[in-house]
Amino acid sequence: MHLEGTIRHETAVALCAQNGLPTPPAYEYSDLTGFLAVYGAVSRCMVTSQDFERVIFEHGQVMAAQHITYAEMSFNPSLHAIDAWIDGVVRGRASVAREFGIEIAWLVELVRGGPNAANERALDIALTTEGVVGVGLVGDESISAAPLAGLLERARAAGLGFMPHAGQVGGPDVVREAVEVLGATRVAHGVGAESDAGVLQLMLDRGVCMCVCPSSNARIGLKPNFRKFADLGIPLVVNTDDPAMVPTTLERELAVAETTHGLNREALIAAAWTHRFGRRR
C-alpha cells in the first residue's frame, strides 16, 4: 500500500488549495499511464509535515474501521521536495498508534532509472527514520534495477527488507532480476512471471512471497491467474495498493480474492503475518 495512494480526493483538493497547487484530477483512469498521471499530481499535494500527518491519520481511521492492527506502507521521497515533511511521517505514525492501536511500518521507495543522488537520499531516509522496516522499488520496469544493487546491500546490512515492484506490467525477466540479482524475498504484483515456468520455480524455490492487488490490477486492465501461483505453492498476500484511487479496502480485496479468484482467505492472512518485514508476533 502506497501512502500517496491513500489520499482521499477531498483531502487532495483541500491540500492543493492550501499549498497553491492546481486542483487535482479526478481519480479516473483505465490503464497504468492514466493512473500514473493522476498519482503524480495528487502525490505532490502533500508538502508540509502537517499535510503528511493529516493523510496518515485519515488513513488510520480507514484502517481502524476494518479492524486492521498492523500495516506496511510505502512512500516515495522522489515525489516530495526538501525533507521537513519527514517529521509528519513520524508524527502521523505515532498518532495512529496512539489513537487506534495500529502499528504502521514503513517501506521507503527507490526508483528504477532515477538519479543516483535521489536514490541515495531515499536510502538515507530509510536508514534514519523511525518505523522503517524495508525499502521498495518503483518505476519503469523496462529499466534494469541492477545498478541499485549496492544501495540494496546497504539496506540489507541494516536489517531492512526489500520488496520491489516487478512483473506488474513487465515480463518474467523483471521478476527473475528482482529475485536472482537483487535478492527480493517479497515481490509487489509479480504477475508477469505467470508465463515462465522457470521463474515460477525460482520463486517457489526461494520462498518468494507475491503481494498481489486484485482490484488495482483489474482497474488497469490486467487479468492475472492468481490461483495458478497459489496452486504451485507460491505464498500470496493481498493488498489494496492505492485504496483511495482504486478505490478499495482490505476487506474488499480479501473478499474478491476469495470469491472471484478462488484463494483461501485464512492462508492469505497467515502469509501476511509470516512474510512481514516488521517484528514478529
User: Please, which residues bridge with residue 1 across strands?
Assistant: none
Mean pLDDT of 83-107: 97
How does DSSP classify residue 160? -
pLDDT of residue 225: 97
pLDDT of residue 241: 98
Which cell numbers hold the place of 176?
Answer: 527473475
Split at pLDDT 50, 70, 90, the class of 191 is very high
Which tens digits make up the pLDDT trace of 234-270?
999 999 999 999 999 999 999 999 999 999 999 999 9
- Please say if the pLDDT value at position 154 is more than 70: yes
| pTM higher than the cut 0.85 | yes
To the nearest whole number, what is the mean pLDDT of the chain?
97
Mean pLDDT of 113-121: 97
Structural contact between residues 193 and 203, judged by C-beta atoms closer than 8 angstroms: yes
Q: Which residue type occupies 273?
A: W
Mean pLDDT of 204-213: 98
pLDDT of residue 213: 98
By percentage, how much of the chain surpasses pLDDT 70?
99
pLDDT of residue 139: 97
Structural contact between residues 10 and 245, judged by C-beta atoms closer than 8 angstroms: no
Cβ-count burial of 231 within 10 angstroms (0-12 exposed, 13-18 middle, 19+ buried)? exposed
pLDDT of residue 281: 36
pLDDT of residue 23: 97
Q: From the CB of residue 61, how many other CB atoms can be counted at a distance below 10 Å?
A: 12
Which tens digits make up the pLDDT trace of 52-74?
999 999 999 999 999 999 999 99
In three-state form (DSSP H/G/I as H, E/B as E, the rest C), the secondary structure along 97-108 is HHHHCCEEEEEE
* Cβ-proximal residues to 258 (8 Å cutoff; 6+ apart), any chain: 264, 265
Which cell numbers hold the place of 68?
Answer: 486492521
pLDDT of residue 82: 85
pLDDT of residue 216: 98
Split at pLDDT 50, 70, 90, the class of 163 is very high
pLDDT of residue 279: 73
- Please say if the pLDDT value at position 280 is more than 60: no
